[in-house]
């Protein structure tokens, strides 16, 4: 299946850690060429090196802050240079992985912080829109291309303390559906991959560096890993061109729903 990705250009946002870094390694192992964006450039360069070691013919990183229109525009100037856009040797962008996002805090609405809400909506919703808008001209005319948006079970189920994050991921899910309608007939596929509990830096970021609180989230369960989610990304992107995985929800076996989790006693 991975032969379908060999030599293709894949762009991943939020690629310096977690799902994004694991996706870079997984797509690299499938022989894809990688364009990686994130704010932490030093870590991004390490991920690019890991992707090349995994098998990527090329893997390049560049600063990207999806909350900034100027940063997105500068990033895509760089992307077009890498693809040779406007030259006879220009290559299309085959896969866009909109992975940049995340949660901040777990406060009820009555105690919520504007800066947390604004960051979650900027990264998960507006950032996804900005990046997709910039990427589409590089993908149209390339039937079989894939826009893969990383959502969450939070876009399907509400939970206490998740107001802005649940709203943001529900927004991601609806944007995916809108794009599916708008791009019907172009041959581009639009997919949402919605993970449940996965142990990455997600909870550490949500709880603003409180490692003990972050560990407690996964206590007594076997959560998903970033590699589990990356494997699903590669599978989705490597389907035949006539096959679109509109939506995939992936959860650990120990998690039946947001509020139903089996925890083993130590």
Which residues have a catalytic role annotated?
Answer: 165
Q: What is the CA radius of gyration of the chain?
A: 18
Can you read off the two tokens belonging to residue 35? 């364009």
- Beta-carbon count within 10 A of 200 CB: 21
How does DSSP classify residue 198?
A: B
DSSP labels for 149-192? Answer: EE--GGGTS--TT-HHHHHHHHHHHHHHHHHHHHTTTTT-EEEE
> Cα separation of 128 and 111, whole Å?
27
**Closest among 82, 109, 70 to 11, alpha carbons compared:** 82
Can you read off the two tokens belonging to residue 145? 């291309």
Q: Pick left, alpha or beta for residue 110 (phi over 0 → left; psi -120 to 50 → alpha; otherwise beta).
A: alpha
> Cα separation of 197 and 217, whole Å?
9
> Cα separation of 102 and 15, whole Å?
13
């Amino acid at each position: 299946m991975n032969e379908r990705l060999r030599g293709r250009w894949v762009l991943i946002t939020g690629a310096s850690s977690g799902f994004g870094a694991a996706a870079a390694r997984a797509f690299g192992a499938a022989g894809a060429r990688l364009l990686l964006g994130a704010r932490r450039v030093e870590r991004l360069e390490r991920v690019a090196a890991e992707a090349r070691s995994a098998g990527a013919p090329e893997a390049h990183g560049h600063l990207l802050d999806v909350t900034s229109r100027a940063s997105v525009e500068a990033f895509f100037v760089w992307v077009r240079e890498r693809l040779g856009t406007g030259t006879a040797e220009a290559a299309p962008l085959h896969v866009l992985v909109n992975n940049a996002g995340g949660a901040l805090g777990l406060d009820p609405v009555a105690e919520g912080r504007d800066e947390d809400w604004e960051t979650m909506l900027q990264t998960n919703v507006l950032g996804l829109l900005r990046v997709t808008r910039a990427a589409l001209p590089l993908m149209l005319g390339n039937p079989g291309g894939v826009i893969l948006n990383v959502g969450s079970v939070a876009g399907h189920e509400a939970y206490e303390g998740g107001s802005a994050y649940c709203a943001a991921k529900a927004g991601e899910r609806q944007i995916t559906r809108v794009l599916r309608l708008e791009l019907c007939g172009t041959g581009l596929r639009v997919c949402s991959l919605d993970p449940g509990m996965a142990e990455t830096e997600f909870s550490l970021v949500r709880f603003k560096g409180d490692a003990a609180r972050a560990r407690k989230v996964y206590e007594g369960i076997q959560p998903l890993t970033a590699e589990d989610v990356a494997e699903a990304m590669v599978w989705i992107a490597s389907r035949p061109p006539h096959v679109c995985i509109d939506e995939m929800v992936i959860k650990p076996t120990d998690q039946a729903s947001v509020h139903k989790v089996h925890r083993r006693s130590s």
